[in-house]
A and B are shown apart, each in its own frame.
Chain A
Amino acid sequence: MTTMIQTNRVVNCEGLACPMPVVKTKKAMEEIQSGEVLEVRATDKGSVADLQSWANRTGHQYIGLREENGVFRHFLRKASEQETKCETTYPHVVRNDELVEKLASGGKINVLDVREPAEYSFARIPGAVSIPIGELEERLGQLKQDQEYYVVCRTGTRSDMACQWLAERGFSKVKNVVPGMSGWQGATERDE
């Protein structure tokens, strides 16, 4: 059975040998928008090392790999310059280690994960709720203004934008978790 992971585009490289998976990934990445997620399906065993190296070199995010019935499903997210600059402006921030402590002390903590579903699927803070930043507006009804929310993404940039946006809509107790999942040392869970 194949696991459903929401992506913006799928590139089929099944049956193709090196260097085609890398070549096709490059081409597809040029055609999607920054922040969007690409799935590359390959049977070439070399693609496991190759696509991670490729992402590392080109600056895109390698989210994760799933192997299903001899097919390697690679998930990659197109980088945006804005994120790598890592500018945050929302004043209420909580460091990763502070959130780890709060989670350990028990009690109800609302963690809101604004990354893409594929990123959330591979590693998230246990109990975190997923609302990708692009869906925040339409799913605002799922959140309550008077609740405290710890908003997290990968590097603190998307969560910063989400915090500002929520604060403008009357959410007074939202906090940006910095740096976010890129430096997360606490427990994680993932889709099986």
Chain B
Amino acid sequence: MANKRVAIIASSAGLETAYKVLNIATAAAAMDAEVGIFFTFEGLSIIHKNSENMLQLKPENAGLAEGFQKANVPAIGQLLEIAKESGVRMIACQMTVDVMGLTKDDFIDGIELGGAAAFLDFSFDAQVTLNF
């Protein structure tokens, strides 16, 4: 059953993206899959230390805020903790980090910096690849 691998690219902004990425990642890890996420461009905000302020719903989805509360959806910080605990690899794209003038210190602990090849090396053996 083991040896399933899920490779995810997170490249878009917003709270919606963060949930799509982290729900799939943590559920896959719970199903004993190896999971790797490559954060690039706007997707970097998900692992930014200031993600709570950076991740907002799109204006047209503002009405969902109440629904998120009502459904007791876990906080992004909680999902990130679960992801780390369950061994999800989180790779920040070195190139976009440089372009945006950021450093490793701008991101939460436990992430890696890597390039496209590092992520591809992981993805070549993945049965599931997703792009959000």
Which one of A16, A18, A54, A58 contacts B23 once the chains associate, using CB atoms below 8 Å? A18
**Do B72 and A15 touch across chains, with their CB atoms under 8 A apart?**
yes
B54 at interface, CB cutoff 8 A: no
Given contacts A22-B27, A57-B32, contact A17 B74 (CB under 8 A): yes
Query: How many pairs of A and B residues are in contact by the CB < 8 Å rule?
Result: 37
B11-51 CB contact bits vs A (8 Å, 1 = yes)?
00000000000010011001110000000000000000000
B9 at interface, CB cutoff 8 A: no
B82 at interface, CB cutoff 8 A: yes
A183 at interface, CB cutoff 8 A: no
Residue among A18, A19, A59 with max Cβ neighbours from chain B (10 Å): A19
A26 at interface, CB cutoff 8 A: yes
**Do A17 and B31 touch across chains, with their CB atoms under 8 A apart?**
no
Question: Contacts of B23 on A, CB cut-off 8 Å?
Answer: 18-19
Given contacts A23-B82, A57-B1, A58-B32, contact A16 B72 (CB under 8 A): yes
Given contacts A16-B72, A17-B73, A58-B1, contact A23 B27 (CB under 8 A): yes
B71 at interface, CB cutoff 8 A: yes
A86 at interface, CB cutoff 8 A: no
Question: Contacts of B31 on A, CB cut-off 8 Å?
Answer: 22, 26, 54, 57-58
Question: Contacts of A50 on B, CB cut-off 8 Å?
Answer: 27
**What secondary structure prevails in chain A residues at the interface with B?**
helix
- Bound-state Cα–Cα, A22 to B79, Å: 13
A130 at interface, CB cutoff 8 A: no
**Do B1 and A59 touch across chains, with their CB atoms under 8 A apart?**
yes
A17-58 CB contact bits vs B (8 Å, 1 = yes)?
111101101100000000000000000000000100010011
Residue total for B at the interface (Cβ-Cβ under 8 A): 14
Which one of B1, B27, B32, B82 contacts A18 once the chains associate, using CB atoms below 8 Å? B27
- Bound-state Cα–Cα, A17 to B27, Å: 12
Given contacts A15-B72, A17-B74, contact A23 B30 (CB under 8 A): yes
Q: CB within 8 Å of A: which of B67-119?
A: 71-74, 79, 82, 86
**Do A19 and B27 touch across chains, with their CB atoms under 8 A apart?**
yes
- Bound-state Cα–Cα, A184 to B8, Å: 42
- Bound-state Cα–Cα, A23 to B87, Å: 13
A67-79 CB contact bits vs B (8 Å, 1 = yes)?
0000000000000
Q: B residues bordering A, Cβ < 8 Å?
A: 1, 23, 26-27, 30-32, 71-74, 79, 82, 86
A16-B72, A23-B27 given; 17 more Cβ-contact pairs under 8 Å: A15-B72, A16-B74, A17-B73, A18-B27, A19-B23, A19-B30, A20-B74, A22-B27, A22-B30, A22-B31, A25-B30, A26-B30, A54-B30, A54-B31, A57-B1, A57-B31, A57-B32
27 contacts between A and B (CB under 8 A): A15-B72, A16-B72, A16-B74, A17-B71, A17-B73, A17-B74, A19-B23, A19-B27, A19-B30, A19-B79, A22-B27, A22-B30, A22-B31, A23-B26, A23-B30, A23-B82, A26-B30, A26-B86, A50-B27, A54-B30, A54-B31, A57-B31, A57-B32, A58-B1, A58-B31, A58-B32, A59-B1
